[in-house]
Chains A and B, each alone.
Chain A
Amino acid sequence: DAGVIQSPRHEVTEMGQEVTLRCKPISGHDYLFWYRQTMMRGLELLIYFNNNVPIDDSGMPEDRFSAKMPNASFSTLKIQPSEPRDSAVYFCASSFKAGNTEAFFGQGTRLTVV
């Protein structure tokens, strides 16, 4: 398996524009997580899904952020409208339901909002 695949790797957008980040989890994984990483706040869990259903979205900063998982192999994180303070690295991760709780991370999307 190629691991968790995120796209794009880098995104530069202007304030007010819509941004969509994409993630393909590892095949067979039941859980999918979206994280945001900044120097000031470290790794923050935004939302996670179990079997495509959102379980905990308490980390989503505000209504400008939304996430969907239409099927087991694809998820999106959307920011509309984007703001400069949204600039960060966004990670997607996935894990199995059974056994240990190791999360496998993608390479991340570096978002810059100017």
Chain B
Amino acid sequence: QQQVKQSPQSLIVQKGGIPIINCAYENTAFDYFPWYQQFPGKGPALLIAIRPDVSEKKEGRFTISFNKSAKQFSLHIMDSQPGDSATYFCAATPRAGNNRKLIWGLGTSLAVNP
């Protein structure tokens, strides 16, 4: 059962565009929502993360928007660059002690054309 649904599966934008990747979850116990970036041949690396007490978080050109009532969160990449071409994964983890089990979306392959 896919508990975190990610869309789109793939995305192509021109340099300078603003790709948006969306994720939806069902479990209201989730309280930590990271985005990971993965380049070919590498492991995923944390890009940015948010907790549900805020609606938006920015780090450089990357922004997470969070809608708690809709149980949705999205990643926006401002002024996208060819170097941003990678696969992006959203994830979520539930509240509860030392639980560290991340539930992952299936990923979005982003291509930024020069």
Q: What is the interface of chain A, defined by CB distance below 8 A to chain B? A: 4, 31, 33, 42-43, 45, 48, 50, 55-56, 91, 93, 95, 97, 100-108
Contact = CB atoms under 8 A, between A and B. Distances in A.
Nearest to A98: B98
B43 A101 contact: no
Contacts of A104: 45
Contact of A106 (B43, B93, B107): B43
12 contacts: A42-B104, A43-B107, A95-B100, A101-B100, A102-B34, A102-B46, A102-B49, A105-B42, A105-B45, A107-B43, A108-B41, A108-B42
B102 interface: yes
Contacts of A102: 34, 46, 49
Interface residues of B, number: 19
Contacts of B100: 31, 33, 48, 50, 55, 95, 101, 103
A103 B104 CA distance: 13
A42 B43 contact: no
B52 to A, nearest CB: 14
B44 interface: yes
A103 B46 contact: yes
Interface of B: 32, 34, 41-46, 49, 89, 93, 98, 100-102, 104-107
A102 to B, nearest CB: 5
Contact of B43 (A31, A45, A56, A91): A91
A64 B74 CA distance: 38
Contacts of B46: 102-103
